[in-house]
């Protein structure tokens, strides 16, 4: 296993000055620390599927077993303590993946449509906030298309993005969205996952605009399919945003 340690100095504004990026044989893993020094590990699984480890807890985002020629073996992973689904499309919502990751203690948190389709879980709508533990809160935020000809893909009010706050570390997982006006209200975001593929989410130009609006300390472009995101670090260099390209095709 290769390990790269990147010192961010004052960049993260957290209690630690360093984050780590690990390249395992399977997935890239980025490690950050919360305000009290707890590690948070992000595993880049595929496309919009993210595994997060935090303080002995497992958090899964939009788990999907197969996308294109890539297969994720969720049966080899621990059961999820918390599992979030943004919306119903097949590259985000996979009933069998949810079943593999769930047990009687798993909290399933979805938008209303996915809860109805799955038959269980807790539904959140845009604007809802939920306290999941003393050190863990979630806010459901809008995720939708704004460009004519694309509005049918993600209509306003149906789907969720999520802001997770883990011991003060604020993580914005955008889901499928364009650069919507509500992004201007998202404050103090440490880590952002922003989608970048057309015609369903953002162009690279829209993503750059969104990043400059949100001003996350670290940005992971995700859900990018065949879109070339290699120019994003250079485009955002002057903004101070640390852009990290991982295998979220």
Residues 172-218: tens digit of each pLDDT = 999 999 999 999 999 999 999 999 998 899 999 999 999 999 999 99
Task: Give the least confident one: 9-13, 94-98, 179-183, 236-240.
Answer: 9-13
Distance CA(49)–CA(127), nearest Å, equals: 23
Task: Give the least confident one: 3-7, 50-54, 110-114, 131-135.
Answer: 3-7
Residues 212-249: tens digit of each pLDDT = 999 999 999 999 999 999 999 999 999 999 999 999 99
Q: Percent of the chain having pLDDT more than 90? A: 89
Q: What is the DSSP letter of 84?
A: E
Q: Mapping DSSP to helix (H, G, I), strand (E, B) and coil, where does residue 213 land?
A: helix
- Structure-token pair, residue 15: 């209690």
Contacts by 238-243, CB closer than 8 A, 24 or more apart: 239/211, 239/212, 239/215, 240/11, 240/215, 241/211, 241/212, 241/215, 241/216, 241/217, 242/8, 242/11, 242/217, 242/218, 243/211, 243/219
What is this structure's pTM?
0.91
Q: Name the region of 103 (left: φ>0; alpha: ψ -120 to 50; beta: rest).
A: beta
Domain annotation for the chain: domains and CATH numbers: 13-243 (3.60.15.10)
Residue 11 pLDDT level (bands cut at 50, 70, 90): very low
pLDDT of residue 8: 35
pLDDT of residue 26: 83
């Amino acid at each position: 296993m290769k390990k790269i340690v990147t010192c961010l100095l004052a960049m993260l504004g957290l209690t630690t000055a360093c984050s780590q990026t690990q390249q395992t044989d399977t997935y890239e893993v980025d490690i950050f620390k919360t305000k009290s020094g707890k590690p948070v590990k992000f595993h880049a699984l595929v496309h919009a599927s993210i595994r997060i480890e935090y303080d002995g807890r497992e958090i899964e985002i939009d788990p999907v077993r197969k996308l294109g020629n890539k297969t994720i073996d969720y049966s080899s992973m621990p059961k999820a303590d918390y599992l979030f689904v943004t919306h119903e499309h097949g590259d985000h919502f996979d009933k069998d993946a949810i079943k593999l990751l769930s047990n009687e203690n798993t909290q399933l948190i979805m938008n209303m449509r996915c809860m109805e389709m799955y038959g269980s879980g807790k539904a959140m709508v845009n604007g809802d906030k939920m306290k999941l533990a003393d050190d863990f809160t979630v806010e459901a935020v809008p995720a939708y298309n704004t460009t004519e000809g694309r509005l049918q893909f993600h209509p306003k009010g149906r789907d969720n993005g999520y802001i997770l706050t883990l011991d003060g570390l604020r993580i914005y997982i955008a889901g499928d969205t364009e650069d919507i006006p509500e992004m201007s209200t998202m404050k103090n975001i440490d880590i952002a996952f922003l989608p970048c593929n057309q015609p369903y989410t953002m162009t690279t130009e829209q993503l750059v605009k969104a990043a400059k609006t949100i001003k996350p300390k670290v940005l992971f472009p995700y859900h990018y399919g065949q879109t070339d995101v290699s120019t994003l670090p250079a485009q955002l260099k002057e903004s101070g945003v640390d852009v990290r390209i991982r295998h979220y095709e």
